[in-house]
Amino acid sequence: MTKFYIFLLFIFSFSFHYGQNLSINLLDKDLSQWDIYLSYAYPEGYKGEIPKDAEGNDLSPIGLNKEGFDVFTVIEEDGQPVLRISGEIYGCVATKSEFENYHLKLQVKWGDIKWHPRKKLLKDSGVLYHSIGPYGAESWRSWMLSQEFQVMQGHMGDFWSQANSAIDIRAYLPEYIMNPVADKSQPFLTLGRGEEVQGYCMRSANFEKPHGDWNTLELICFENKSIHIVNGEVVMILQNSRYVEDGKKIPMQKGKIQLQSEAAEVFYKEITIKKLNILPKIYEQYYK
């Protein structure tokens, strides 16, 4: 009875504070607000296809909350909990709760280790938001259907669509930039599965700090809008988050938050979230 009462008290406290516009800390030493999902440690030679056993059969992903792996661990730095992601096995930590209309804030810095298949590529991770459905929905069988706030060396704040997600981004195609007489009225480009542009869009500029320094990332999500912020600078303006299924576009504005393990050592800390009742006025200008 005591344990049940404490659990109910925690749920009530979380709901009350989240509803009162206070920042909620999502990171503790036990990762109590997160689930862990692991797919594969890709052997040398594999490039995203499902690894196979000795008989040539597809291997099953490791799965959800399996013990015996140290891909996601919490260490202490200056008295604070810090999430270390080794990157050795593809996968994610995902919040147990879903969120909508919020301001997410966290800090991130790179470690020194890289794994196959990205040993010769940029270090990579990501913050995946509006995450819904089963794990392993995208091509690497590691993450849920979602929108990605890219965390990559030199590319913090880029956008990537996961699985069959789509979104509209305030951005210029190269032909707009190179043509001096082109309409410069800040178009929103459609991006995602089966859309005008496939998959990926770069941030407006690189505001990442040097290796070893902590970077502050912020994600504003309100109704159908989202904004990527890196070290205080707005780098991506998006709207009309959705996924496409059987040709139908379905709004996607609520979901879990995932942090990726993607073949690189990375550290996260001070992960907080605050509910928004309105879009802050400072960001309204980007949608006019």
CA distance 110 to 12: 36
Average pLDDT over residues 227-237: 97
Distance CA 3, CA 130 (A): 31
Give CATH for domain 22-287. Answer: 2.60.120.560
Domain parsing of the chain, residue ranges: 22-287
CA 225 to chain centroid: 16
Residue 266's Cα: distance from chain center in Å?
Answer: 13
Please count the other Cβ atoms lying within 10 Å of the Cβ belonging to residue 65: 9
Q: Which residues pair with 234 in a beta bridge?
A: 229
Q: What digits encode the pLDDT tens for the residues 84-106?
A: 999 999 999 999 999 999 999 99
Check whether the bond before 61 is cis (ω within 30° of 0): no
pLDDT of 224 above 80: yes
107: nearest Cα among 193, 239, 231, 16: 231
Check whether 4 has a pLDDT greater than 50.
no
pLDDT of 196 reads: 57
Residue 136 zone, left/alpha/beta (φ > 0; ψ -120 to 50; rest): left
The pLDDT of residue 17 is above 70? no
pLDDT at 194: 58
Tell me the average pLDDT across 23-52.
93
Residue 10 has pLDDT above 50, yes or no: no
In tens, the pLDDT along 261-286 reads 999 999 999 999 999 999 999 999 88
In this predicted structure, which of 5-9, 18-22, 75-79, 193-197 has the lowest mean pLDDT? 5-9
Per-residue pLDDT band at 185 (split at 50, 70, 90) = low
DSSP state, 213? S
Closest CA to 99 of 127, 66, 141: 127
Q: Measured between alpha carbons, how far is 147 from 131 in angstroms, rounded to an integer? A: 7
Alpha-helix runs per DSSP H in the chain? 2-19, 174-178, 281-284
What pLDDT score does 273 carry? 98
Percent of the chain with pLDDT over 90: 74
- The structure tokens listed for 30 are 């036990």
Mean pLDDT of 122-136: 98
Q: Quick one: average pLDDT of 235-243?
A: 95
CA torsion sign, 85 to 93 to 138 to 203? negative
Alpha-carbon gap, residue 231 to 185, rounded angstroms: 27
Q: Name the residue among 137, 90, 96 with its Cα closest to residue 115.
A: 90
Is the pLDDT confidence value at 7 over 90? no
Higher-confidence residue of 48 and 253: namely 253
